[in-house]
Amino acid sequence: MGKALRGSVAVAALTCLASTAYAADKVVIVTSFPEDMTSVIEKAFEAAHPEYDLEVLNKSTSSGVKYIKEIASNNTADMFWASAPDAFEVLKKEGLLLKAGLSTEGIPDQIGSYPINDPDGFYYGFAASGYGIMWNTRYMEANGLEPAREWADLEKPEYFGHVGMSSPSRSGTTHLTVETVLQGEGWDQGWADWKWMAGNFASVTERSFGVPDGVNTGNFGMGIVIDFFAFSSRASGFPVDFAYPTVTALVPANIGIVANPANEAGAKAFVSFLLSEPGQETLFDPAIMRLPVNPATYAKAPEGLPNPFTDNSIGAAVKFDVDKSGARYYVVSSLFDVMVTYRLDDLRAAVRAVQLAEEKHAGSDNAEAKALIAEARKLIEAMPITEEQSLDPAFAGAFTKVRKEQGDEIGQRQAELEQQWDAMVVANYAKARELAEKAAGM
């Protein structure tokens, strides 16, 4: 064999070996987090562990859960990384997470009243998150508005058309926000609050990232967001601020290794890095600005970032029940889409009609008009199902998928129920608008 031929064969062999080694060291993570966040942590991890190459697959929380289920028989992923603990409960109950047995030294058992890590060891909290209201200070000043600091404030008529939010079927963090209000205020009152808030929406965005983007750019003045969206926007120089309402939950954002991971050693290395002090310190990057779960890390925290281990007021009002949330995960998302997302124009029209009628009769003693307004309110707030139904496994079991658009294929029973709900909602919103407009004309 000639020297040139032998050389080419050697090069080919080395290339093949290098390729094989690269593939073996690839670590795949499925996440709902934005690239601004994941790229910072990816770079820090690969600097600490050059033997691994992190590959990031970005999917919404619900899509990520679905993806993990689909590849379970021939797994090509290693980790799932998202904010919503109820999504991890869904995967855990279906046997799709690995009990990794990693060290959590320096991390307390709880933050407030909530466990930081899964007590059974199937997933780990790496950051704490609260939910609240973000606003653009310039927008608010230009429109003569004071910022809302409580959920009930967002129901005020002066905020009509000034609020943005995503849908819980499109965002795990939004699902947690919706569920937090339902748990904090109760089923009926919580849904009533969401409808009156949604009546003031300018938009229901495609993804959770669209809400801070809308506030940052002034497309709308206020947004319902997870806290780190506001903190990172502020750190990046946008004129924004944020408040935690009294009724909010402080819960961990999580990471778990999927069952039968393609690269178990690499997955364990990444999770261990994320929970270490150097990994926790990456959360202070201006593009991230999340709350670490290791209290010692806060010694290096940037100015203005709250410390949930010393500020006990954050999330104190709600003891979030992850089992309840997980049991009705798809039911709550479907309800929100039927009552709000898909019928937003109808809801806004009904809510606006009530607002104008109430403004007209604010100082009035017109009993007939006030009775019409009260009936309109009852129609808007009416629910198609009870809380007991939402938690009934036989009923909730019909809801096995969150759809992105009304045309997406779903199970027959789920489709039938959603059609029934939709018929009720459309009729109620139309009648409410009619009654409110009649009252306004008196």
Q: What is the pLDDT of residue 8?
A: 46
Q: Which backbone phi and psi does 257 adopt, to 5 degrees?
A: -90, 130
Please write the tens of the pLDDT for every residue from 173-217. Answer: 899 899 999 999 999 999 999 999 999 999 999 888 899 999 999
Pairing state between β 240-243 and 114-115: unpaired
Please write the tens of the pLDDT for every residue from 352-407. Answer: 999 999 999 998 899 999 999 999 999 999 999 999 999 999 999 999 765 555 45
CB-based contacts of 305: which residues, under 8 Å, 6+ apart?
A: 231, 284, 289, 291
User: Binning pLDDT at 50, 70 and 90, where does residue 24 land?
Assistant: very low
Q: H-type helices in 221-343, by residue range?
A: 227-235, 264-275, 277-281, 322-327, 329-336
List the one residue out of 400, 379, 336 whose CA is nearest residue 179.
Answer: 336
What is d(CA 403, CA 400) in angstroms, rounded to the nearest whole number?
A: 10
Q: What is the pLDDT of residue 10?
A: 45
Q: Can you state the angle between helices 210-217 and 227-235, rounded to 10 degrees?
A: 40
User: Binning pLDDT at 50, 70 and 90, where does residue 11 land?
Assistant: very low
What is d(CA 16, CA 8) in angstroms, rounded to the nearest whole number?
A: 12
Q: What is the pLDDT of residue 401?
A: 62
